[in-house]
Amino acid sequence: MTIRVLIADDEALLRMAFSMLLDAQPDLTPVGEASDGAEALALAAELRPDVVLMDVRMPGTDGIEATREIVRTCPQTRVLILTTFDLDEYAFAGLKAGASGFLLKNTRPEELLTAIRTVADGNAVVSPRITHRLLEKFRPHIPDRAAAARDERLGRLSAREREVLVQVGSGLSNAEIAATLHLAEATVKSHLGRILHKLELRDRIQAVIFAYESRLIHPH
């Protein structure tokens, strides 16, 4: 099955390079190019790509707002944020907006291709530890939730699921969570799937953010 990719970047040479790279893969195909966020929104609505490679710094509608709207209006489309620095505010904002991960613009071609395939398969491409570092850096900017709202969402989880969510929010991998909680790794994966379903979250990254926003992970 071919993965259809929309490329959004205000640099024509980068768009061309990404397009050529994708075109050379038997399972990936570029379906369109956008030079700004507004164009990305219009093309995403028209083409319904599987994945959008989204630059954050573009004229007019930036990549963050475009990501937020694409996630809202095209729920089957996944977004990969392209950023210059791995711990800048744009990367964090992109994850908050619903992106399935972020990549450095100077990432190696094989890593980019793997990331696209991973995201198209419904997974996130930012490791738990990197997500944890992002949230630690930008924790002061994470808004508090009303106590009632926190309780309502957390109330959907079983005690064990809440335990697993705490570990996910702490940056542990499934294997590490399994060792910590004395569970099989497959059991941890099943718990995580139920957590995402109950909390209506897209992926692991969103689960980590929820753990911070709901104060399951306390400042230290």
Q: What is the pLDDT of residues 3-54, one digit of tens each?
A: 999 999 999 999 999 999 999 999 999 999 999 999 999 999 999 999 999 9
210 has pLDDT over 80:
yes
The pair phi, psi for residue 58, each rounded to 5°, is: -130, 155
Once rounded to an integer, what is the mean pLDDT over residues 182-206?
Answer: 91
Output the CA–CA distances (angstroms, integers) from residue 104 to 13, 16, 26, 155, 203, in the order listed.
Answer: 16, 17, 24, 37, 20
Token output for 31: 């379906």
Q: What is the pLDDT of residue 139?
A: 64
Residue type, 163: E
Q: What is the pLDDT of residue 204?
A: 82
Once rounded to an integer, what is the mean pLDDT over residues 145-157?
Answer: 67
pTM of the model: 0.72
Q: What is the pLDDT of residue 216?
A: 81
Which CATH architecture does the domain made up of 3-126 adopt?
3-Layer(aba) Sandwich (3.40)
CB atoms within 10 A of CB 109: 12
Residue type, 22: L
Query: What contacts 24+ positions apart, CB below 8 Å, involve 195-198?
Result: 195/157, 195/161, 195/164, 195/165, 195/168, 198/156, 198/157, 198/161
Ranges of CATH 3.40.50.2300 domains, the chain: 3-126, 138-213
Q: Buried b vs exposed e over 114-134: b needs ≥16 C-beta within 10 Å? A: ebbbbbbeeebbbebebbbeb
Output the CA–CA distances (angstroms, integers) from residue 85 to 7, 92, 104, 164, in the order listed.
Answer: 19, 11, 7, 30
Average pLDDT, the chain: 85
Residue type, 204: R
Q: What is the pLDDT of residues 102-124, one digit of tens each?
A: 888 888 899 899 989 988 987 77
Cβ(205)–Cβ(135) under 8 Å? no
Cβ(119)–Cβ(51) under 8 Å? yes
Does an H or E element contain 148, and which? helix 147-154
The fold adopted by the segment(s) 138-213 is Rossmann fold (3.40.50)
Q: What is the pLDDT of residue 150?
A: 56
Cβ(146)–Cβ(194) under 8 Å? no
148 has pLDDT over 50:
no
Q: What is the pLDDT of residue 29?
A: 96
147 has pLDDT over 70:
no
60 has pLDDT over 70:
yes
Strands 28-34, 51-55: pairing kind: unpaired
Q: What is the pLDDT of residue 156?
A: 92
Once rounded to an integer, what is the mean pLDDT over residues 131-159?
Answer: 67
Q: How far apart are CA 23 and CA 111, in angstroms?
A: 16
Instruction: Assign 181 a pLDDT band (cuts: 50, 70, 90).
Output: very high
Token output for 18: 């990404």
Once rounded to an integer, what is the mean pLDDT over residues 142-154?
Answer: 59
